[in-house]
């Protein structure tokens, strides 16, 4: 993982799986190479194997369960996503929250497996406490803005600046901003406010031409970093 | 789905995913062809695509979530498992229980997608009520026996006979028995008691030679049906 | 419990507890005596003892947990609500759903304690299956109408009529209609459509003069029954 | 709250509610006065009003839900327990875990209501992160020892010493040790290891003469503090 970090959460839309997801991933792969910017794709559990086999980008799971290997019907576990080709996973997304003890268990287990973790939080007050559990990055997303198209960069810039202040109390954990990020300008602002990257979902997944949106994000991320 | 129904729940053991899961699946495929008995494999979400692509057996998911397509990070949905090659799914396993409204939603959605459903219950009292939601089969498993090696056939035969009485109040829903099924004799008894098949997990997944266990199950299932 | 059944769910509003809840309960008690109509009050766990000690109405809990007596910190159990003076409880409200096996456990346990149960469902398809678990009554509430002021009687009368058809397949279980019930007319219609009573929350709890709303409900319930 | 802190979690045993709970509380009140030691009783939601009205000890809830006042059937909320006479509450007990965002919400809300909070954690790694959310105390309990009679003081003293090291990074948050505390010696050791108090449940609730157990705990707590 290296800044600017761009993570695209495929979620569970109609085009989040199957051939359309694969095609979208390939288009993003092309942009990633063209601009030499790493782009993380967080895809449904059923798609990790397929996409990571055909696309040269870091593929993440969207969630892993905290239970150990064993009699756990329906569990998606760190060992399984690694085997399927994932390089890491989102943890504690607002649509799939975990308890703090589960988060600690999962991060330790991911580290032992050499998998990366992006830990989601909904408020700056949790940034420093959760950074102490040593994920690779923390993604802050005010849940009330997720999916709205009203970006955290514009509507709640203080969430980013306070989160940046908090993350600076520790070392080696990136701070990523998300929620409502829609335009290149949102991306530019988030990074200028101190974030080392951005997280996005609907703005890409629901776009008519997602590759144009991603390209605009890349260009603005690079501009903000330079 | 046609009797004798043998469903093997891979759960989340070390050999439930990756190459070992694939090899096990291929051995079972061979037995299935040799004896002309359909064997259902219920595999982790990350493995559905791989196994259904390489093995000619009905592959099931172990669980699906009840949320619709959309912004649902981490969800495993009926549409996703179908796209990955699944022919159906377990629902409401004791290790992944759902609410009744969710079960009703999921069964309707599976039917619309032409996917099969095996609905798990823990007691005979729920067999007839849940049969009214029209799954393809109901798998009854007293949770206190799951994974113990003490079979429902021997320890609680009345659970099977009462469940059989209940399922007969309706038409077109199979009754499968599970929990602690370990030997061919357990399989034979379960079917003689009126079940149309059996569900098994640890007895196969933790066996040194799983294919021998499966073969023994098949032979006894056929003997009991004849 | 006898028709017309009027159950008022206090939920967790500012006036659902403390002295204001007690005063409201006393006003409703007066109306209940005046019209000789039983009115059930479903109150927060912390208020069961106080209200049942001071008010001569059947007091219900809003929820009970399915765990047995023992090491279960924070659990509200059937034995506790009985000890506090409750006569019964709501089960499976859309704001506190349970699994079917938990519902079956709870109903059996309530019966053993001589407590009543009103089991909530969100769709007519669950009315007959859940009636087989033998609660005293089933309260059908389409969740999308709860708290809206748009009544099930007017907006979705077919939900009531279909639920009535379903409940008639069994004996000795009442059918109560709820969701969005706001006016006496809503009450009248619900009962005319075949319900044996109504469930209400916000229309009473958020009213300026709740006792007038309740009186209007009583008058219309009696008119519809006669 | 002042050291030595002794908190007795009544949980949900047969004697955790009703007259037996009230009598037990009165016996403990007597000991508290005799030795001038504050003893916190954490009681079922249905008992808060009764016990706090009749017993002059700080009464705590065992859990509160994180939802705001409003349409939340079955919720036990900070405002309700305060109204019923509680002085504070346990949060995040291993038998009733919460998410970190919920914990942060609840602590802020308790503070606004002038209620105290004892936040439970299962590992020393969470002590400092959670101390940043500013509860009044953190109660560390290795869940594998809860209810076993094998005390954390003896079996895992390093859990206490490491937790004490962690709590010292912050100011104004007490550290309480629990799990398996059975004898006065366990209490003595826990406090000597640096804890400012102890949490106990089954050793008192399941004792034939609970008041003798409590007295022994008090004597040893005082001895360790002196």
What does each C-alpha distance from B179 to B23, B209, C84 come to in angstroms? 25, 20, 40
Subunits that touch chain C (at least 3 Cβ pairs < 8 angstroms)?
Answer: B, D
CB of C117 within 8 A of CB of C104? no
In a mutagenesis test of the C interface, which of D71, D96, D147 is the best target, namely the one with the most C β-carbons within 10 Å?
A: D71
Could you tell me the two tokens for B51?
């196994």
Alpha carbon distance A77, A98 (integer Å): 14
Backbone torsions φ then ψ of B102, nearest 5 degrees: -65, -40
Q: At what angle do helices A210-225 and A184-192 cross, to 10 degrees?
A: 30
Alpha carbon distance A100, A115 (integer Å): 19
H-type alpha helices, chain B: 18-35, 48-54, 78-84, 100-112, 127-131, 152-155, 157-167, 184-192, 202-205, 210-225
3-state helix, strand, coil in chain D (%, to 5): 45, 15, 40
Closest alpha carbon within chain C to D70? C13
What pLDDT was estimated at residue B226?
87
Determine whether the interchain pair A121/D101 forms a contact, defined as Cβ–Cβ distance below 8 Å: yes
Angle (nearest 5°) at CA B10 between B9 and B13: 140
Q: Give the model confidence (pLDDT) of D69-120 as tens digits.
A: 999 999 999 999 999 999 999 999 999 999 999 999 999 999 999 999 999 9
The 10 Å CB-count burial string (b at 16+, else e) for A96-122 is bbbbbbbbbbbbebbeeeebbbbbbbb
Q: Give the model confidence (pLDDT) of B23-79 as tens digits.
A: 999 999 999 999 999 999 999 999 999 999 999 999 999 999 999 999 999 999 999
Distance between A34 CA and the closest CA of chain D, angstroms: 40
CB of C70 within 8 A of CB of D95? no
Could you tell me the two tokens for B120?
């798990």
What pLDDT was estimated at residue A131?
98
Report the run of H or E that residue D154 belongs to, with start and end.
Answer: helix D152-155
Determine whether A93 is an active site residue.
yes
Kindly report the pTM of this predicted structure.
0.96
Q: Which residues of chain A have pLDDT under 50?
A: none
Look at residues C74, C71, C126, C80 and name the one whose alpha carbon lies nearest to residue C103.
C126
Secondary structure letter of residue A24 according to DSSP? H
Mean pLDDT for the stretch of residues D179-206: 95
Residue D33, chain C, CB below 8 Å: the answer is: no
Q: Residue D176: pLDDT above 90?
A: yes
Closest alpha carbon within chain D to C64? D74
Mean pLDDT for the stretch of residues C172-197: 95
Alpha carbon distance C183, C167 (integer Å): 25
Q: What is the mean pLDDT of chain A?
A: 96
Residue D172, chain C, CB below 8 Å: the answer is: no
In a mutagenesis test of the C interface, which of D45, D86, D144, D146 is the best target, namely the one with the most C β-carbons within 10 Å?
A: D45
Mean pLDDT for the stretch of residues C131-145: 94
Secondary structure letter of residue B180 according to DSSP? S
Distance between C27 CA and the closest CA of chain D, angstroms: 21
Q: Give the model confidence (pLDDT) of C30-71 as tens digits.
A: 999 999 999 999 999 999 999 999 999 999 999 999 999 999
What pLDDT was estimated at residue C143?
85
């Amino acid at each position: 993982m290296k800044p600017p970090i761009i993570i695209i959460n495929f979620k569970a839309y109609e085009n989040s799986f199957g051939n359309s997801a694969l095609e979208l991933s390939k288009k993003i792969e092309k942009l990633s190479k063209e601009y030499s910017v790493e782009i993380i794709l967080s895809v449904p559990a059923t798609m990790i194997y397929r996409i990571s086999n055909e696309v040269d980008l870091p593929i993440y799971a969207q969630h892993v369960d905290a239970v150990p290997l064993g009699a756990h019907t329906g569990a998606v576990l760190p060992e399984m996503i690694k085997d399927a080709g994932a390089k890491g996973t989102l943890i504690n997304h607002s649509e799939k929250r975990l308890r703090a003890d589960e988060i600690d268990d999962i991060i330790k287990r991911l580290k032992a497996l050499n998998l990366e973790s992006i830990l989601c939080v909904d408020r700056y007050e949790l940034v420093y406490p959760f950074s102490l559990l040593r994920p690779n990055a923390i993604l802050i997303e005010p849940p009330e803005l997720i999916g709205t198209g009203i970006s955290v960069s514009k509507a709640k810039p203080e969430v980013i600046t306070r989160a940046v202040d908090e993350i600076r109390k520790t070392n080696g954990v990136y701070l990523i901003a998300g929620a409502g990020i829609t335009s290149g300008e949102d991306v530019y602002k988030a990074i200028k406010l101190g974030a080392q990257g951005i997280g996005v979902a609907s703005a890409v997944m629901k776009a008519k031409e997602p590759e144009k949106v991603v390209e605009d994000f890349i260009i603005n991320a690079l501009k903000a970093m330079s």
